[in-house]
Amino acid sequence: MGVVVVLVVMVAVAVLVMRAASAGASGGGGARVPRRPRPRPQRPVRPVAPDDDPDFLRELERRTRRDDGSPA
Q: Is the pTM of this model over 0.85?
A: no
pLDDT, one tens digit per residue, over 1-25 is: 889 999 999 999 999 999 888 766 6
- Is 35 in contact with 28 (CB distance < 8 Å)? no
Q: How confident is the model at residue 58 (pLDDT cuts 50, 70, 90)?
A: confident
Model pLDDT, residue 63: 85
Identity of residue 27 = G
pLDDT, one tens digit per residue, over 19-50 is: 888 766 655 555 666 778 888 888 777 777 77
